[in-house]
Amino acid sequence: MALALINCLFLIEIFVGLRHRVHDFAVSILIADGEYGHRGPSQEIIIALFAVVGLSLAVFILFWNQSAGGAARIGASIAVAVLALFAIETVSLHALDAIFYRPIASVLLIGWIWALASSGTVLAASLR
Protein backbone atom coordinates (compact mmCIF):
# COMPACT_ATOMS: atom_id res chain seq x y z
CA MET A 1 0.00 0.00 0.00
CA ALA A 2 2.82 2.40 0.83
CA LEU A 3 4.46 1.87 -2.56
CA ALA A 4 1.13 2.39 -4.32
CA LEU A 5 0.64 5.67 -2.45
CA ILE A 6 4.19 6.81 -3.24
CA ASN A 7 3.73 6.04 -6.94
CA CYS A 8 0.39 7.88 -6.97
CA LEU A 9 2.15 10.90 -5.46
CA PHE A 10 4.79 10.64 -8.21
CA LEU A 11 2.03 10.67 -10.82
CA ILE A 12 0.38 13.72 -9.26
CA GLU A 13 3.75 15.49 -9.11
CA ILE A 14 4.35 14.81 -12.79
CA PHE A 15 1.01 16.45 -13.65
CA VAL A 16 1.58 19.40 -11.29
CA GLY A 17 5.28 19.82 -12.08
CA LEU A 18 6.19 21.05 -8.62
CA ARG A 19 9.87 20.19 -9.10
CA HIS A 20 10.06 22.57 -12.06
CA ARG A 21 8.17 25.28 -10.19
CA VAL A 22 10.55 25.01 -7.22
CA HIS A 23 13.52 25.18 -9.59
CA ASP A 24 12.15 28.20 -11.46
CA PHE A 25 11.38 29.99 -8.18
CA ALA A 26 14.91 29.39 -6.89
CA VAL A 27 16.40 30.56 -10.20
CA SER A 28 14.36 33.77 -10.11
CA ILE A 29 15.64 34.51 -6.60
CA LEU A 30 19.24 33.78 -7.62
CA ILE A 31 18.95 35.96 -10.72
CA ALA A 32 17.47 38.81 -8.69
CA ASP A 33 20.41 38.56 -6.28
CA GLY A 34 22.92 38.28 -9.14
CA GLU A 35 24.10 34.87 -7.92
CA TYR A 36 22.68 32.55 -10.59
CA GLY A 37 25.85 31.88 -12.60
CA HIS A 38 28.06 31.38 -9.54
CA ARG A 39 28.04 27.76 -8.43
CA GLY A 40 30.38 27.88 -5.52
CA PRO A 41 31.64 25.26 -3.12
CA SER A 42 28.80 25.95 -0.67
CA GLN A 43 26.21 24.91 -3.27
CA GLU A 44 28.16 21.74 -4.05
CA ILE A 45 28.38 20.94 -0.34
CA ILE A 46 24.63 21.43 0.09
CA ILE A 47 23.87 19.18 -2.90
CA ALA A 48 26.26 16.51 -1.61
CA LEU A 49 24.74 16.74 1.88
CA PHE A 50 21.22 16.28 0.52
CA ALA A 51 22.41 13.33 -1.57
CA VAL A 52 24.04 11.63 1.43
CA VAL A 53 21.01 12.20 3.66
CA GLY A 54 18.63 11.02 0.93
CA LEU A 55 20.62 7.89 0.17
CA SER A 56 20.98 7.10 3.86
CA LEU A 57 17.24 7.46 4.33
CA ALA A 58 16.60 5.28 1.28
CA VAL A 59 18.89 2.52 2.55
CA PHE A 60 17.23 2.70 5.97
CA ILE A 61 13.76 2.41 4.45
CA LEU A 62 14.76 -0.46 2.16
CA PHE A 63 16.30 -2.54 4.92
CA TRP A 64 14.09 -1.49 7.83
CA ASN A 65 11.31 -3.97 7.18
CA GLN A 66 12.98 -7.37 6.79
CA SER A 67 9.64 -9.09 6.19
CA ALA A 68 9.15 -7.37 2.82
CA GLY A 69 9.53 -9.77 -0.07
CA GLY A 70 11.83 -9.47 -3.06
CA ALA A 71 9.18 -7.88 -5.28
CA ALA A 72 8.43 -5.24 -2.65
CA ARG A 73 12.13 -4.46 -2.32
CA ILE A 74 12.44 -4.11 -6.09
CA GLY A 75 9.46 -1.78 -6.14
CA ALA A 76 10.89 0.24 -3.25
CA SER A 77 14.28 0.44 -4.96
CA ILE A 78 12.67 1.76 -8.13
CA ALA A 79 10.69 4.28 -6.06
CA VAL A 80 13.94 5.50 -4.49
CA ALA A 81 15.52 5.83 -7.94
CA VAL A 82 12.50 7.80 -9.20
CA LEU A 83 12.70 10.04 -6.14
CA ALA A 84 16.37 10.64 -6.99
CA LEU A 85 15.32 11.63 -10.52
CA PHE A 86 12.87 14.14 -9.07
CA ALA A 87 15.65 15.56 -6.90
CA ILE A 88 18.07 15.77 -9.82
CA GLU A 89 15.47 17.55 -11.94
CA THR A 90 14.70 19.96 -9.10
CA VAL A 91 18.36 20.87 -8.58
CA SER A 92 18.80 21.05 -12.36
CA LEU A 93 22.50 20.56 -12.88
CA HIS A 94 23.04 21.85 -16.39
CA ALA A 95 25.35 19.03 -17.48
CA LEU A 96 22.73 16.42 -16.50
CA ASP A 97 19.91 18.45 -18.04
CA ALA A 98 21.74 18.34 -21.38
CA ILE A 99 21.71 14.55 -21.13
CA PHE A 100 18.20 14.02 -19.71
CA TYR A 101 16.47 16.36 -22.16
CA ARG A 102 18.15 15.02 -25.30
CA PRO A 103 15.63 13.48 -27.71
CA ILE A 104 15.98 9.81 -28.59
CA ALA A 105 13.57 8.71 -31.34
CA SER A 106 11.45 11.85 -30.76
CA VAL A 107 11.13 11.16 -27.01
CA LEU A 108 13.36 12.83 -24.43
CA LEU A 109 15.76 10.51 -22.60
CA ILE A 110 14.06 11.38 -19.29
CA GLY A 111 10.81 10.05 -20.80
CA TRP A 112 12.49 6.74 -21.60
CA ILE A 113 13.85 6.59 -18.05
CA TRP A 114 10.37 7.24 -16.62
CA ALA A 115 8.94 4.52 -18.90
CA LEU A 116 11.61 2.04 -17.81
CA ALA A 117 11.01 2.82 -14.14
CA SER A 118 7.26 2.47 -14.47
CA SER A 119 7.67 -0.82 -16.36
CA GLY A 120 9.92 -2.11 -13.59
CA THR A 121 7.37 -1.08 -10.97
CA VAL A 122 4.56 -2.82 -12.85
CA LEU A 123 6.68 -5.95 -13.23
CA ALA A 124 7.57 -5.96 -9.52
CA ALA A 125 3.91 -5.48 -8.59
CA SER A 126 2.84 -8.32 -10.88
CA LEU A 127 5.39 -10.62 -9.24
CA ARG A 128 3.86 -9.83 -5.87
Q: How far is CA 26 from CA 12, 43, 67, 121, in A?
A: 21, 13, 41, 32
Q: Give the model confidence (pLDDT) of 81-115 as tens digits.
A: 888 887 777 776 677 778 888 999 999 998 899 88
- Give me the chain's average pLDDT, please: 78
Global pTM value: 0.69
